Amino acid sequence: MIAESMKGERRSYYIRISAESTYSTIAGVIAARKILGKPWGVLLRSRLGAVAVVKPSIAELMEGFYERRTQVIYPKDSGLIAILAGARPEARLLEAGVGSGFLTTVLAMGLCPTGRLIGLDVKRENLEAARRNLESAGLLDCVDLKLGDVRDPAAVEGVGPLDGVVLDMPDPWSALESLGPEVKPSAVAVAFVPTSTQLEKLLDHLPGGWMLQGGVETMARTINLSPGAVRPGEWLASFTGYIVVLRRVVQG
């Protein structure tokens, strides 16, 4: 629900509706019985403003309803990673580790229905949570979730030829050697690392057949949209991690 108070303040609420409940919002209290049976998008007047009942977007599903078993990648980073990795309907990508499936979701949005994502993780329980999350978003069909260590050549043998790889794991440099033969020349590897120590290790341990292309970090800030007082908002997501782009290269 999106509530708007008479003062023009807005806030989103993520709710699973149950028949007898009431929900407190900045626009007053809304009873479930006023919502049930109404179509998505209905705007309801309340005592202190109005409430719109909207279907959650994929970003809102992740924010409000996904299970979190691990640190996750947020839309400010995952959207960019998906573009950099080339997540489009004709691509075949590999992702390690899948974790809670937040980044997997955004990659699948670009790949489905005709592309393919092979998602690897060493922890079965993380893969299971990711599977439930992807299923709730309707994005499981183009994703193969596999238990395995991406550093083990036997675990990745035959997954290629890959158009790109995405690495969100503690030691991405260790995955590049085993993945090399499965990745098409010129294809991209995108690594996300939250610390400078990991970034330096990635630079120091780059195996042959890979070339560093560049790195970027992202920041996102809300905008205060109050009438007469439009200005930068108080909420700022500053540093979350470094995004590093590498290319698969072959000797000429």
Ligand X SMILES: C[S@@+](CC[C@H](N)C(=O)[O-])C[C@H]1O[C@@H](n2cnc3c(N)ncnc32)[C@H](O)[C@@H]1O
103 binds ligand X (CB under 6 A): yes
Q: Which is nearer to ligand X, 112 or 150 (CB)?
A: 150
Measured CA angle at 62 (ends 57, 63), to 5 deg: 95
Spatial CB neighbours of 251, under 8 Å, sequence gap ≥ 6: none
Q: What DSSP string runs through the chain?
A: -EEEETTS-EEE------TT-EEEETTEEEEHHHHTTPPTTEEEEETTEEEEE-PPPHHHHHHHT---SS----HHHHHHHHHHHT--TT-EEEEE--TTSHHHHHHHHHHTTTSEEEEEES-HHHHHHHHHHHHHTT--TTEEEEE--TTSHHHHTTS-SEEEEEE-SS-THHHHHHHGGGEEEEEEEEEEESSHHHHHHHHHTPPTTEEEEEEE---EEEEE--TT--EEEEEEE----EEEEEEE----
Site mask, ligand X, residues 42-61, x = CB under 6 A? --------------------
Angstrom distance (rounded) from CA 44 to CA 53:
8
Residue 121 vs 163, nearer CB to ligand X: 121
Minimum CB separation of residue 133 from ligand X in Å reads 8
Instruction: Please report whether residue 96 would count as binding ligand X according to CB under 6 A.
Output: yes
- Whether residue 77 is annotated as binding a ligand: the answer is no
The yes or no reply on residue 72 touching ligand X (CB under 6 A) is: yes
Q: With binding defined as CB under 6 A, does residue 128 bind ligand X?
A: no
Q: Choose between 45 and 124: whose C-beta lies nearer to ligand X.
A: 124
| Contact pick of 126, 198, 218, 240 for ligand X (by CB under 6 A) | 126
Using CB under 6 A as the binding rule, the residues of this chain from 3 to 42 that contact ligand X are none
Residue 97 touches ligand X, criterion: CB under 6 A: yes
Binding flag, residue 81, ligand X (CB under 6 A): no
Binding of residue 71 to ligand X (CB under 6 A): yes
**Least distance between ligand X and beta carbon 153 (Å):** 12
**73 binding ligand X? (CB under 6 A):** yes
With CB under 6 A as the contact rule, which of the stretches 53-61, 66-74, 81-89, 110-118 interacts with ligand X? Answer: 66-74
The residues that touch ligand X, with contacts defined as CB under 6 A, are 70-73, 96-97, 99-103, 120-123, 126, 149-151, 168-170
In the annotated binding site for S-adenosyl-L-methionine, the residues are 100-103, 121, 149, 168
